[in-house]
Amino acid sequence: MTAPLEGPRAGHQSPALHIDGEKVGVPRLRANEVLALARASGADDCAVVTIDDPAVQEEVPYITRAFPATRTLLALVGRMHREPVRSPARSIANLEFHASGHDLDAVARRIVRALEDAGVRALNPAMAFPMEMDDFPQRAWVVSHKRVAEAGGLGRMGVHRSLIHPRFGSFVLLGTVLLAAEVDEVGTPLDGNPCVSCKLCVAACPVGALKPDGYFDFSACLNHNYQQFMGGFVNFVEDLADSRSTAAFRAKHSYAETVTRWQSLSYGPNYNAAYCIAVCPAGEDVIASYITDKAGHLRTIVDPLKKKAEPVYVVRGSDAADHVARRFPHKRVRFVRSSARATSVRGFLLGMPLSFQPGKAGDLSAVYHFTFTGSEAMRATVTIRDKRLVVAEGHQGAPNLRVTVDGAKWVRFLNREVSLVRLLASGSLRLRGSPRLLSAFGRCFPS
């Protein structure tokens, strides 16, 4: 059966789509025609991945919750313009992020329209926002576009944790269309990684979220780059509610910061950095000028971002705060509360690896057994050794400190709603072992 496809960009003829029979009600499509449709709809690159691919299995529960009929994932790449992203004027960079994102969402909508008109069910999650925020700060996205793109051979993640396309480099945004159909061929991952391990992303990051050894301080990136929205916005609203006067509020948030938050609400999230993408020289269309003149790349692209005088948002006592003071003394340190907070015991356990501060762990070597009681009863083992953290379910090994605590009250303590002294005095928190180990544990997670 051949059905004409409607929806691709004006001036582009719709490719024909052949449905080669059905298996238990699931249409089977030709991959080359699906890819041709994606390109005709405006995708700069694309690939198809089966939902059975082992590389995307962690995504399957979330994908099928949104669209149970999904059988194939169509990965989309939208190219961004390099010079706007590289600009020290972040309004210009943000305009490029938003414009490119809207374009890619429109591409996905055109593909879904064309498939739907041909009798094939499909769904297009957002390129970025809006997301499913019900459980924030736990996972909010429907599908990890980076994982799908990697599985389809559209690139590999670099040191900066962003996908690097073999041609366009880091200057891409990603999307995914979910199809209730199978295809006759799928993409395969790249053999090599376009990342050249130049570590320019490590050098340019204002908060040191990227470490030379490959460690990624997620919380440092979240607190600075995403300060104007998400968790930073929650803290802003709470500060507003707690302030007894205009002067009290202004002491917490400057005039410019308040206007910046308005801008994020009005024109889309205002990212503070993304310098890791801006300085990346990888990709066939990008790397030639870097190889030809590395000093020039540093002088014209990297140095202006490093030298820029700007507010840098960090949690007091964090590795990021130390990094700014040591590497960027000309930037203005702005101490904030952590943008990620636990709303449940499970969220606390899942979030620990993302907020752990290796520099604050020092020579700490200890095993902690947590026993959470109450409505969210569970056990967990936390091991901190050699500036690394491991969280495991259940009690494993011999502990140096046993912590038994009411789960709901522990979450309230983490969110500064009740003091540790009160938990101890009321018997809601019981320790077996040196209390100093609990203090050492707390220093690894400044908030």
Residue in the block written with tokens 């498939």 = 115
pLDDT of residue 1: 35
pLDDT of residue 17: 78
Is residue 5 pLDDT above 70, yes or no? Answer: no
What fold, for 345-443? Answer: Nonspecific Lipid-transfer Protein; Chain A (3.30.1050)
The DSSP secondary structure of 338-404, one letter per residue, reads -S---SSHHHHHHHHHHH--HHHHTT--EEEEEEEESTT-EEEEEEEETTEEEEEES--S--SEEEE
Higher pLDDT pick, 365 / 4: 365
Is residue 118 pLDDT above 60, yes or no? Answer: yes
β-strands 378-385, 45-50: how paired?
unpaired
261-306 pLDDT per residue, tens: 999 999 999 999 999 999 999 999 999 999 999 999 999 999 999 9
Q: Judge if the upstream peptide bond of residue 130 is cis by omega within 30 degrees of 0.
A: yes
pLDDT of residue 6: 45
What 3-state DSSP class applies to 74? Answer: strand
Average pLDDT over residues 343-353: 93
pTM, full prediction = 0.90
Is residue 12 pLDDT above 60, yes or no? Answer: no
161-178 pLDDT per residue, tens: 999 999 999 999 999 999
What fold, for 2-183? Answer: NADH Oxidase (3.40.109)
Asked whether the beta carbons of 393 and 352 are under 8 A apart, the reply is no
Is residue 3 pLDDT above 50, yes or no? Answer: no
pLDDT of residue 4: 39
Residues of 386-420 as b/e, b for ≥16 C-beta within 10 angstroms?
Answer: ebebebeeeeeeebbbebbbbbbbbbbbbeeebee
Q: CATH 3.40.109 region(s) of the chain?
A: 2-183
Residue type, 88: P
pLDDT of residue 230: 87
Is residue 14 pLDDT above 90, yes or no? Answer: no
* Chain mean position to CA 8: 30
Q: CATH 3.30.1050.10 region(s) of the chain?
A: 345-443
Compute the distance between CA of residue 68 and CA of residue 42 in angstroms, rounded to an integer.
27
Sign of CA dihedral 185, 179, 188, 164: positive
238-266 pLDDT per residue, tens: 999 999 999 999 999 999 999 999 999 99
